[in-house]
Amino acid sequence: MLSDFFLDSSVLSGSVLNRFLLSDYEIAALLLSLKVSSIAVIASLPLGILCAWLLARVEFPGKAIFDSILHLPLVLPPVVVGYLLLISMGRKGFIGQWLFDWFGISFSFSWRGAALASAIVSFPLMVRAIRQSFETVDIRLEQAARTLGSSRWRVFLTITLPLTSPGIVSGMIIAFARSLGEFGSTITFVSNIPGETRTIPLAMYSFIETPGAEYEAMRLCIISIIIALASLLASQWLTQKALQRTASAC
């Protein structure tokens, strides 16, 4: 559905973006980047909230190991993540083959694989932001809500989640920005296919490899900087708002 939106809108917004002096090639890479990153963030959000909540609120055996594994994509070389994806989620991979046989879903050499790689690499960043936000929510407010007749689930939906929402939004933005920049694991897992997996960083890489295309590489470089900067500013602004909110909690 969301992917349809991006596919349909590429025709429409192509003419709009042309006016901003972007070439068709740049527009294709930009829209693909936005599509891959948005889907990576939205699809991983529910799991991200669950993991963040587990880490912030639940004590369980093996929590330290769970926490470390979750952070692994942050410290592993992206090429390692890409390679692991290739052997597990590829058409011949032990999970990928099973998914293809049963559901007809394939990740290899498609934008879906790029989204999966982005989601995994940006996941720790998202979880960290949401977890911090969960930790600032006053448990005493949740207790008060329980005494007012709310079940655990209703307390989560009406008290915990709304008070965490600024952290969730800022986690989503950071993950989105990280996804936009994803390169190593993407090119390892799904290769560099124009229109399918060639996002902005991959397009830039192609230009750098092509002699005499420094100008095109620089244009993409500037586009990247603008998007990243906007994301960081938005994230900072939202974190500020979250702090103000928790300061007022009593």
CB of 161 to other proteins, least distance (A): 10
Residue with Cβ nearer other proteins (203 or 242)? 242
Is the CB of residue 116 less than 8 Å from the CB of residue 85? yes
- Asked if 159 is part of the footprint of other proteins (rule: CB under 8 A), the reply reads yes
- Asked if 168 is part of the footprint of other proteins (rule: CB under 8 A), the reply reads no
- Asked if 158 is part of the footprint of other proteins (rule: CB under 8 A), the reply reads yes
CB of 155 to other proteins, least distance (A): 8
Q: Kindly report the CA angle at 107 between 101 and 109, in degrees rounded to 5?
A: 120
Q: Which of 95, 123, 121, 118 is nearest to 190 (CA)?
A: 118
- Asked if 195 is part of the footprint of other proteins (rule: CB under 8 A), the reply reads no
Q: Which of 196, 234, 232, 193 is nearest to 31 (CA)?
A: 196
CB of 243 to other proteins, least distance (A): 12
Site residues for other proteins, 97-126, by CB under 8 A, read: none
Within a 10 A sphere around the Cβ of 63, how many other Cβ atoms?
Answer: 12
Which among 41-49, 151-159, 211-219, 225-233 is the span making contact with other proteins, rule CB under 8 A?
A: 151-159
Among 64, 75, 148, 222, binds other proteins (CB under 8 A): 148
CB of 246 to other proteins, least distance (A): 8
Quote the CA–CA distance of 214 and 158 in Å, as a whole number. Answer: 53
* Number of shown-chain residues binding other proteins (CB under 8 A): 21
* Helix pair angle (24-57, 2-19), 10° resolution: 130
- Asked if 65 is part of the footprint of other proteins (rule: CB under 8 A), the reply reads no
Is the CB of residue 166 less than 8 Å from the CB of residue 242? yes
Is the CB of residue 201 less than 8 Å from the CB of residue 181? yes
Among 9, 146, 217, 219, binds other proteins (CB under 8 A): 146
Residue with Cβ nearer other proteins (15 or 248)? 248
Q: Which of 175, 184, 171, 81 is nearest to 129 (CA)?
A: 171
Q: Which residues bind other proteins (CB under 8 A)?
A: 138, 140-141, 143-152, 158-159, 162-163, 245, 248-250
